[in-house]
């Protein structure tokens, strides 16, 4: 059984098992010391060996974040986004702490401070890869973490889902202002977003080999839910695609990086003084228009890629 003794204002717990290294750790509260001692003993009972806590003492949070960013995030579809989030998180002083000293309360303090500058949804997006990181560290990297501190953290409620639709005349204004820009990709991207409900990333990954002109269908091989889908193209969408410069197989139809596209969109919105309009709102507009045309939910889901019909319900309400 774990032995606990009080040293000054702190409690030291020691766990000794034959054939395993002696473990000890100090806590502010006796209850925390007892919980840690029990957890170490449970690990021994389940695995036949007590994990060496010295691994936790010499491993910093920075070590985990960098490894996760370079080995795990790099292989995801959202690699660029996660790399930005994790690299920014590395600037926090919390990253210099050893894993052995981290508690959920440390992340709670970070949450409270961070929510002063970001939205609840933004904070939850930042925490998602960190929570997964601790699980990977526990299960695959052999780091003896007893509990995932981010998983235990109370998360703020996400922001209400956006319901922004284009106001009368805004679509025409978007097209007008996009034509006046020096870049050629904004106008077709706007048209295709409203005609197909494709996401920005899906539009930027379009290739000529994805287009079947005979059946007027466009293949979207890489999607958010991981399931490829085929989108029927309206006459307006076909005309927009036909005006694009010809490209070789394997080359994007819209020759622009995601970061450059975002910058161009922001400048367009500022120039036209569009109030609170995100590019993703065009997807909302497209799906709402499909409901207004009388399309069924399964038909719309096949085009939009929604796996859960409940996610489409808010579009149906917006179209009323």
Catalogue the active-site residues: 199, 224, 280, 283, 306, 315
Residue 123: name the closest of 134, 107, 103 by CA: 107
Residue 133: name the closest of 149, 110, 153 by CA: 149
Dihedral angle of Cα 223, 175, 287, 221, to the nearest 10 degrees: -20
Coil vs helix vs strand at 141:
coil
- For the sheet with 217-220, list strands across it: 211-212, 217-220, 229-232
Question: Which phi and psi (to 5°) does residue 284 adopt?
Answer: -60, -45
Query: Element (H or E) spanning 302, and its range?
Result: helix 297-304
Residue 97: name the closest of 135, 149, 136 by CA: 149
CA distances 267 to 177, 255, 256, 307, 318, Å, are 10, 18, 15, 34, 28
User: The tokens of 208 are what?
Assistant: 């000529």
* CA-atom Rg of the chain in angstroms: 26
Q: Which residues contact 115 (CB under 8 A, 6 or more apart)?
A: 123, 156
Coil vs helix vs strand at 275:
coil
For residue 250, what is the DSSP state?
T
Residue 289: name the closest of 193, 177, 203 by CA: 193
């Amino acid at each position: 059984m774990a032995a606990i003794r009080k040293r000054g204002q702190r409690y030291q717990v020691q766990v000794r098992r034959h054939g395993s290294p002696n473990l000890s750790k100090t806590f502010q509260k006796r209850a925390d010391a007892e919980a840690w001692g029990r957890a170490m003993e449970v690990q021994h009972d389940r695995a036949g060996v007590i994990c060496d806590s010295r691994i936790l003492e010499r491993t910093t949070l920075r070590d985990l974040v960098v490894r996760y960013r370079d080995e795990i995030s790099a292989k995801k579809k959202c690699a660029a986004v996660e790399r930005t989030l994790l690299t920014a998180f590395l600037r926090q002083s919390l990253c210099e702490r050893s894993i052995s000293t981290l508690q959920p309360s440390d992340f709670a303090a970070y949450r409270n401070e961070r929510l002063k500058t970001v939205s609840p949804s933004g904070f939850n997006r930042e925490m998602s890869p960190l929570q997964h990181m601790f699980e990977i560290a526990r299960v695959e990297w052999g780091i003896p973490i007893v509990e995932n501190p981010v998983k235990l953290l109370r998360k703020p409620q996400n922001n209400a889902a956006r319901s922004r639709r284009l106001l009368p005349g805004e679509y025409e204004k978007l097209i007008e202002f996009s034509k006046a820009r020096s870049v050629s990709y904004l106008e077709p991207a706007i048209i295709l977003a409203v005609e197909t409900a494709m996401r920005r990333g899906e539009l930027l990954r379009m290739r000529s080999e994805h287009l079947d002109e005979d059946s007027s269908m466009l293949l979207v091989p890489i999607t958010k839910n991981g399931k490829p889908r085929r989108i029927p193209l309206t006459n307006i969408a076909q005309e927009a695609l036909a005006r694009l410069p010809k490209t070789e197989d394997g080359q994007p139809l819209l020759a622009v990086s995601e970061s450059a596209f975002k910058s161009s969109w922001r400048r367009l919105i500022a120039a036209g003084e569009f109030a609170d309009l995100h590019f993703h709102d065009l997807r909302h507009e497209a799906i709402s228009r499909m409901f207004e045309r009388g399309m069924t939910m399964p038909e719309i889901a096949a085009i939009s890629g929604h796996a859960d019909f409940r996610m489409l319900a808010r579009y149906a309400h917006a179209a009323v």
